[in-house]
A = this chain, B = another copy of it.
Amino acid sequence: MPTPVTTPIKALVFDAYGTLYDVHSVVEACESRWPGHGMSLSQVWRCNQLEYTWLRSLMGRYADFETVTRQSLRYACRALELQLTPADEDMLIERYRRLTPFPEAAAALRALEPMPLAILSNGSPKMLDALVRSSGFDQSIGLVLSADAVRIFKPAPAVYRLATDALSLQTAEIGFVSSNCWDACGAKAFGFQVFWVNRSHAAPEELSITPDHVLDDLGQLATLVGAKDAKGAKP
C-alpha cells in the first residue's frame, strides 16, 4: 500500500515521457524496420537520450529534446550496427510525437479533475504540443511546461522551479508524478511531494533520496490525493 498523503496537495505535475506516455511504444515501428532489433534499439535509444540530456546539461551545451532524441537514435543505430536513413529517422521522430499513452492514463487524469493538472517535461514545446493533442490529454491538463524555457534538463532544480513559478505554489503543495525514479528523486530533492509510479517494480535508484509514495500505476493517484475534495480550477 502506498504511504498516505499528509500535507494537502493543491496541484499535480506530471512527467510526460515514460510516465503518461510509453516511450517504448516505438518498438513496433523499430521492429518492422529492423526485424529482431525493435526492443534493443528502443532501449539503447532511450538510455542514451537520457544520458545526453544529463551530459549536455552538465557541459553547458543545451540542445532541445528533439535534437537530443534524433542524436541518441543515430548513436543507438550505430552502436547496434543498424542502417538508419534520413527517412527512417524522420519516421521514428514522427512516431515519437504520437507515443501511446499508458492504458490507465486517460481515466486517471479524468478522475483527478478539478485538481489543477500540469505536465513538466524535458520535451520541446513542439514535441509536447503534438503529444498532448494526439492523446487528447489537453482536455484534462491545463498547463504544459517545457525544460526548454530554462535550457537545461531535469534533474536540474531550475526545471522543477518552472512548476512552482507557473502555479504560484509552495514546493510542498505540489504533487509531482514520475515513473522515472531519477526524476522522482530530483523532484524530491527540490521539495515536491513525490509519487513514483513504478509499473515494472524496478529497483529504486540509490541516490540517498526517496520518493514519498510508490504506486503501481496512475490509477492509484485519485484516492491518495483525495481528488474529490480538491479545490480550485484548472490552471
Q: Using CB atoms and an 8 Å cutoff, list the residues of chain A in contact with chain B.
A: 48, 51-52, 54-61, 63, 71-72, 74-75, 78-79, 152-157, 182, 185-186, 189, 202-209
Say yes or no: A55 contacts B182, CB within 8 Å: yes
- Whether A208 contacts B61 in the complex (CB less than 8 A), given A202-B79, A203-B75, comes out as yes
Enumerate chain B residues within 8 angstroms of A203, measured Cβ to Cβ: 75, 78-79
CA distance A79 to B201 in the complex (A): 10
Closest B-chain residue to A78, C-beta based? B203
Min CB gap A208→B, angstroms: 7
- Whether A71 contacts B206 in the complex (CB less than 8 A), given A54-B58, A155-B58, A157-B60, comes out as yes
CA distance A56 to B185 in the complex (A): 10
Starting from the known contacts A55-B182, A72-B206, A79-B202, 20 additional A-B residue pairs (CB-CB under 8 Å) come to A48-B205, A48-B206, A51-B54, A52-B207, A54-B54, A54-B55, A55-B155, A55-B185, A55-B207, A56-B207, A58-B154, A59-B155, A59-B185, A59-B186, A61-B207, A61-B209, A74-B206, A75-B206, A78-B204, A79-B203
Say yes or no: B207 contacts A58, CB within 8 Å: no
Min CB gap A78→B, angstroms: 4
CA distance A55 to B156 in the complex (A): 9
CA distance A152 to B59 in the complex (A): 12
Selected from B58, B75, B205, B206, the residue in CB contact (under 8 A) with A205 is B75
Min CB gap A50→B, angstroms: 8
Selected from B48, B74, B186, B208, the residue in CB contact (under 8 A) with A58 is B186
4 tightest Cβ-Cβ pairs between the two chains A and B: A71-B206, A78-B203, A54-B54, A75-B206
CA distance A154 to B55 in the complex (A): 9
Min CB gap A100→B, angstroms: 26
Say yes or no: A52 contacts B155, CB within 8 Å: no
Enumerate chain B residues within 8 angstroms of A79, measured Cβ to Cβ: 202-203
Of residues A156, A185, A186, A203, which shows the largest number of chain B Cβ atoms within 10 Å of its Cβ?
Answer: A203
Enumerate chain B residues within 8 angstroms of A54, measured Cβ to Cβ: 51, 54-55, 58
